[in-house]
Structure 1
Amino acid sequence: MNTLQIGDIQVTWLVGGNTHLDGGAMFGVVPKALWSRKYEHNEMNRIHLRTDPLLLQGEQNILIDTGIGNNKMDEKMKRNQGVTEESQVESSLKELGLTPEDIDIVVMTHLHFDHASGLTKWYDEKLVSSFPNAKIYVSEIEWNEMRRPNMRSRHTYWKENWEPVQQQVVTFEKEVYVTEAIRVIHTGGHSDGHAIVIVKHHDDIMLHMGDLLPTHAHQNPLWVMAYDDYPITSIHQKQHWLQWGMQNGAWFTFYHDAYVRAVKWDEYGNITHKVECV
């Protein structure tokens, strides 16, 4: 498992599963001639994407997003989503000497199924909370849409992923500090309730932009996904936070990237430091 040190906080990428999605959908209106230079694709034009939660270990054990889960999709949906591996989060935690009960906080960038399906699991033929002792932070807008999805979003906001954990959920409006070092900020864009996570400890900064920046190849502010509900908002928010992160020497971390876990970019957008997937 890859790790990154932010001050005294250790960041570890757990094994959350994967998808293989259409490159055109992941890069929106960007021509394939451009995006294919920056990210690999197969003969079906699909690109390999991880769904790996980030575990932050300091005074508390904190997860950012939860993986694609287990036994939430039938075989047809797995084929459509290109799923060749489901979550191994519990096994990843066990390797670190932890159990799901040791997770104190779960921070959700948003609640689409590929981020939220790991919130619940099957036990004795019913769905229960995967992290029963954790507070689950999510923006109020996202939480409301999760429970009352519209025609477009009902395919990604599943009751199986929220009903068993609703008593654990803590919502916020604009932003919230879940610890002194970890701030969650509502951005909108990819979804109306989407949020980013800033970790600042000592002189180190980590900026996790969720699905505003799903891979290192999405660095260009204009390169947003066709999946985004509010692409203009994505562009504005992405431009702002990319600039902020570069100016502050932040590590940019990724949930979906199958090749790069984290990068630092200088003010010109050049990579100065990189953590590659192992």
Structure 2
Amino acid sequence: MRSPLHLKLGELELFVLNDGEIWLDGGSTFGVVPRVIWSKLTQPDEQNRIRLSMNPLLVRIAGQWVLVETGIDRKPGFKHRELYRLSEENPLLAQLALLGVRPEDIAWVINTHLHFDHAGLNTRWQGGRLLPTFPKARYVVQQQELEDAIHPHERSRASYLPENIEPVLEAGLFEVVEGETELLPGLRLLPVPGHTLGMQAVELESEGRRLAFTADLIPTLMQTPLLYIMAFDLYPMTTLETRKKMYARWLEGDYLLCFTHEPGHPLGRLIQTERGYRAEPVPGLDSRPSS
């Protein structure tokens, strides 16, 4: 498992964490792109699953710890873990501990959306009860996303697990926002609909340097081309239009991108050529906290 990646973004301290691997069906992950094409980018296992990662982002900003995404839900048990080739435990809390960060130190949890592989450690079993993992945090989510998670339709129901949502609701810890929002100075939330209608990306800026956490708008470096849209996206044509808008913004602003499911190096930059968009990894970043 990858150790936390450390970088400085102006005055901001960032750590790209890892909550292990998830193996998803390759055809579903690449949507309408044929296997003869996507299999040149990644090799599937015997069940046609490809290896992806969960890459939450930890940010130190204005003296507060902000956690973007909480990894995957392992609470449903063995069959669930076997289906996605998950490890038995969530590595996320151990990675936070390596950095000297306790769950109660987290001031903000940003849920890009509430699918089980992005909000899985919103809660955990404590004393025989499911309770919020980060008891002093505000869990920030778009109004549209929370409404859709509480009242899912037939196609989205399997991705929204009540165990990751209801204990946070009962504790009154959700911080609901609508549309583009500056949560903290230098930290902005932007709606990026398509995968779900209420998904949001996170933008960070300090001293002229910028980073965007792309959520499932661009899950991996491999899926940067405009038409490499997952079959899991509920509104694929909305994803396409959102990609066009955000790619132009992130390219013009010279944003470093952090990819939520990239199994290799999780940071990259957009490049536009005559053949369309692609992304290249940004290597050489420090993997240790600064002293």
> TM-score range with shorter-chain normalisation?
over 0.9
TM-score (normalizing by structure 2):
0.90
**1:215–1:260 CA contact under 8 A, matched in 2:** no
Deviation of the 1:86 alpha carbon: 3.7
Paired with 1:200 and 1:250, the residues of 2 have a C-alpha distance of 9
Unaligned runs of 5+ in 2: none
Tell me if 1:201 matches 2:206.
Answer: yes
The one-letter amino acid paired with 1:177 is: E
Deviation of the 1:112 alpha carbon: 0.3
**Structure 1 SS opposite 2:119:** helix
1:172 corresponds in structure 2 to 177
Q: Given the superposition, is the C-alpha separation of residues 130 and 116 from structure 1 closer, same or farther in structure 2, using an over 3 Å criterion?
A: same
Higher helix proportion, which one? Answer: 1
The one-letter amino acid paired with 1:153 is: S
* Correspondence 1:174-253 to 2 at 5 A: 174-253=179-258
* Correspondence 1:1-278 to 2 at 5 A: 1-59=4-62, 60-70=64-74, 72-84=75-87, 86-166=89-169, 167-268=172-273, 269=277, 274-275=282-283
**Structure 1 SS opposite 2:205:** strand
**Structure 2 SS opposite 1:164:** helix
Q: Deviations over 1:194-242 (max 9, x none)?
A: 1111111111111111001000001111110000000001011112111
Paired with 2:194 and 2:250, the residues of 1 have a C-alpha distance of 18
Q: Given the superposition, is the C-alpha separation of residues 73 and 102 from structure 1 closer, same or farther in structure 2, using an over 3 Å criterion?
A: same
The one-letter amino acid paired with 2:251 is: M
Paired with 1:213 and 1:276, the residues of 2 have a C-alpha distance of 22
Instruction: Name whichever of 85-94 and 262-271 sits farther off.
Output: 262-271
Paired with 2:168 and 2:137, the residues of 1 have a C-alpha distance of 10
Unaligned runs of 5+ in 1: none
Identical counterparts, % of pairs: 31
The one-letter amino acid paired with 1:21 is: L
Paired with 1:69 and 1:5, the residues of 2 have a C-alpha distance of 29
**1:17–1:85 CA contact under 8 A, matched in 2:** no
Superposition RMSD on alpha carbons, in Å? 1.8
Paired with 1:238 and 1:140, the residues of 2 have a C-alpha distance of 21
Paired with 1:275 and 1:132, the residues of 2 have a C-alpha distance of 35
Q: Given the superposition, is the C-alpha separation of residues 85 and 50 from structure 1 closer, same or farther in structure 2, using an over 3 Å criterion?
A: farther
Paired with 1:29 and 1:41, the residues of 2 have a C-alpha distance of 16
Deviation of the 1:15 alpha carbon: 2.8
Paired with 1:254 and 1:85, the residues of 2 have a C-alpha distance of 24
Paired with 1:218 and 1:176, the residues of 2 have a C-alpha distance of 27
**1:119–1:165 CA contact under 8 A, matched in 2:** yes
Deviation of the 1:243 alpha carbon: 2.0
The one-letter amino acid paired with 1:77 is: H
**Structure 2 SS opposite 1:104:** strand
**Structure 2 SS opposite 1:227:** coil
Deviation of the 1:84 alpha carbon: 3.2
Paired with 2:240 and 2:60, the residues of 1 have a C-alpha distance of 31
Paired with 2:163 and 2:76, the residues of 1 have a C-alpha distance of 11
